[in-house]
Amino acid sequence: MTTVLVTGGAGFLGSHLCDYLLARDHDVICVDNFFTGRKENIRHLIGNPRFEVIRHDIVHPLFVEADQIFNLACPASPKAYQHNPIKTIKTSTVGMVNVLGLAKRCHARVLHTSTSEVYGDPLIHPQTEEYWGHVNPIGPRSCYDEGKRVAESLCINYHVSHDVGVRIIRIFNTYGPRMAPDDGRVISNFILQALRGEPITIYGDGEQTRSFCYVSDLIEGMYRMMNQETDIGPINLGNPVENSMLELAEKILEITGSSSKLVYEELPKDDPQRRCPDITKARSVLDWEPVVDLKSGLTSTIDYYRTRLATNAK
Ligand code: NAD
Ligand code: UDP
């Protein structure tokens, strides 16, 4: 049994990770500044003697003791990370230094959640870990993409210079219950629009692709990565099944039975045209691959939003 610090633990992925760790008898310290995270995501854990919450911003140093640190603190949706781009950069750089400094002091291992966004608008398909990416360093997504690239560099350099144990995963679009309904990500947008009978907003022509991984698959991969001994990564974690936004909208309309119409809106600047992970490395190092298909994952996610709408939860 270990004490595990989860930064960003009240967010979408972080709260599922806290559940997973507690179910495996770890002590969990959840650190969050509640920018995009919600108390509701972790309310069911309050009262568990192995669970603690600290309201803290990782841009400031933190002094706690832990054996392992999962670093998830960072807004993930374009709408959220572009809200205050300088703060987003600080979280991925100054915040990362604080997390790595804590790890150095405690001799803790750090798993850092990097992103497929380090590949930018990729020129090779599917994306392998060897690809260095195609990122616009001054575009509207750069606060996130470049921040995450610096964070990867910090991880490697703390490992080389200070022998800190690090693990880096590059997460591709992941979805599921507890995604913030108003964060502008495509799956939450489309499901809520379908359930409310509002138009489905397709940005651009809808032919751009993403590969959607269900949250339980991702958390399993993340845990395996932290607890394997040999490979610091980066390792891609995502579902290699690629879908266009039009295909996604059709699936959501079919499952919800909604008669919402499609409307076409302007494509955001620098929106990647295609994205699909090569997960050969995750398969061999972690013996991991996603098992939840898009239809069942969407069905669970739709049930979650239906319940939220019915109970008028914020
Ligand atoms: P999320 O926005 O739901 O969670 C992020 C959490 O971090 C929130 O609880 C937020 O309040 C907290 N946070 C933000 N800045 C902070 C700071 N400075 N100090 C302390 N807490 C802070 O997003 P998510 O989807 O759960 O993503 C979690 C991590 O995984 C992020 O680092 C994200 O970049 C990465 N990731 C997610 C995806 C995805 O598809 N969900 C894809 C790639 C990478
Ligand atoms: N998108 C869309 N309609 C929406 C929200 C998003 O067509 O209402 C598109 C967006 O332009 C992008 C894709 O869906 O091509 C995924 O967007 P998201 O913000 O979920 O993730 P990211 O772009 O960071 O992968």
Domain residue ranges in the chain: 3-175+214-237, 186-210+241-276+292-313
Q: Residues 49-63: what's their mean pLDDT?
A: 98
In sequence order, the β-bridge partners of residue 111 are 70, 167
Work out the angle at residue 92's Cα, subtended by the Cα atoms of residues 40 and 56, and round it to the nearest 5 degrees.
45
Q: Cα–Cα distance between 248 and 155 in angstroms, integer? A: 35
- Tokens read off for 306: 């239906």
d(CA 292, CA 213): 8
pLDDT per residue over 180-220, tens digit each?
988 899 999 999 999 999 999 999 999 999 999 999 999 99
In terms of Cβ atoms closer than 10 Å to its own Cβ (0-12, 13-18, 19+), residue 267 is middle
Q: Which residues line ligand 1 (CB under 6 A)?
A: 7-8, 10-14, 32-37, 57-59, 72-76, 80, 91, 95, 113, 115, 171, 173-174
The architecture in CATH of the region 186-210+241-276+292-313 reads Alpha-Beta Complex (3.90)
User: Has residue 270 got a pLDDT over 90?
Assistant: no
Confidence of residue 313 (pLDDT cuts 50, 70, 90): low
pLDDT value at position 182?
A: 86
Q: For residue 273, how far is its CA from the centre of ligand 2 (angstroms)?
A: 10
Say yes or no to pLDDT of 314 above 60.
no
- Counting ligands in written order, the one closest to the CA of 247 is 2
Question: Residue 272: what pLDDT?
Answer: 87
What is the mean pLDDT of the segment spanning 219-238? 96
* Span 138-186, pLDDT tens digits: 999 999 999 999 999 999 999 999 999 999 999 999 999 999 988 899 9
In the structure encoding, which two tokens stand for residue 206, read together? 């809808």
Record the tokens describing residue 51, joined without a space.
């669970």
Amino acid occupying residue 157: N
Tell me, what's the pLDDT at 39? 97
At 178 the three-state DSSP class reads coil
Q: What distances in angstroms separate CA 118 from CA 135, 151, 168, 210, one per listed residue?
A: 7, 11, 12, 15
Read off the pLDDT of each residue in 3-7 and give the average, rounded to a whole number.
Answer: 98
- Does 186-210+241-276+292-313 match 3-175+214-237 at the fold level? no
- Amino acid 191: pLDDT: 97
Pick the CATH number of 3-175+214-237 from 3.30.1330.20, 3.40.50.620, 1.20.950.20, 3.40.50.720: 3.40.50.720
User: What digits encode the pLDDT tens for the residues 293-309?
Assistant: 999 999 999 999 999 98
Mean pLDDT, the chain, rounded, equals 96
144 is catalytic: yes
For residue 5, the one-letter residue type is: L
The yes-or-no verdict on residue 249 having pLDDT over 60 is yes
The ligand 1 atom at the shortest distance from the C-alpha of residue 9 is: 9
